[in-house]
Amino acid sequence: MSQISEFEQLCKAQNTAQISISQGGKIVFDRTFVEDPIDVFAVQKGIISILIAIAETRYFLERYDAMNHILTPEWTQLSKPDEASLTVEILMNMTTGMDESLKAKGTMGKDWAYNNVAYQKLKEALEIQTGMTLQAITEQWLLAPLGLSGMTWRTRAADGEGRTFSALHSTAQTLRAIGDGLLFQELVESSYLDQLESPGKSTNPAWNLLWWTNRAQSHQLPGRHEIIERALLPAAPEDLISARGLLGQHLSLSRRHELVVAQTRLRGEGVSDREPGQTEFWSAVTALYC
pLDDT of residue 103: 98
The CATH number for 59's domain is 3.40.710.10
> How far is it, in rounded angstroms, from Cα 124 to Cα 138?
14
Q: In the prediction, which pLDDT does 270 show?
A: 57
Domains in the chain: how many in total? 1
Do the Cβ atoms of 29 and 23 come closer than 8 Å?
Answer: no
Which pLDDT belongs to residue 159? 84
Q: For the CA atoms of the chain, what is the radius of gyration?
A: 18
pLDDT values of the chain reduced to their tens digit, one per residue, 290 residues? 799 999 999 999 999 999 999 999 999 999 999 999 999 999 999 999 999 999 999 999 999 999 999 999 999 999 999 999 999 999 999 999 999 999 999 999 999 999 999 999 999 999 999 999 999 999 999 999 999 998 999 999 888 888 889 999 999 999 999 999 999 999 999 999 999 999 999 999 999 999 999 999 999 999 888 999 999 999 999 999 999 999 999 999 999 999 999 999 998 765 556 666 799 999 999 999 99
Strands 16-23 and 211-213: unpaired
- Residue 151 CA to residue 181 CA, distance in Å, equals 15
Strands 166-170 and 211-213, how do they pair? unpaired
Nearest to 211 by CA among 192, 230, 236: 192
What distance in Å separates the CA atoms of residue 114 and residue 72, rounded to the nearest whole number?
A: 23
Type of residue numbered 107: T
Rounded to 10 degrees, what is the CA torsion of 213, 95, 91, 120?
Answer: 90
SS3 for the chain is CCHHHHHHHHHHHCCEEEEEEEECCEEEEEEECCCCCEECCCHHHHHHHHHHHHHHHCCCCCCCCEHHHCCCCCCCCCCHHHHHHCEHHHHHCCCCCECCCCCECCCCCCCCCCCHHHHHHHHHHHHHHHCCCHHHHHHHHHHHHHCCCCCEEEECCCCCCCCCCEEEEECHHHHHHHHHHHHCCCCCCHHHHHHHHCCCCCCCCCEECCEEECCCCCECCCCCCCCECCCCCCCCCCCCEEEEEHHHEEEEEECCCCEEEEEEECCCCCCCCCCCCHHHHHHHHHHHHC
Domain span at 155: 3-289
pLDDT value, residue 276: 64
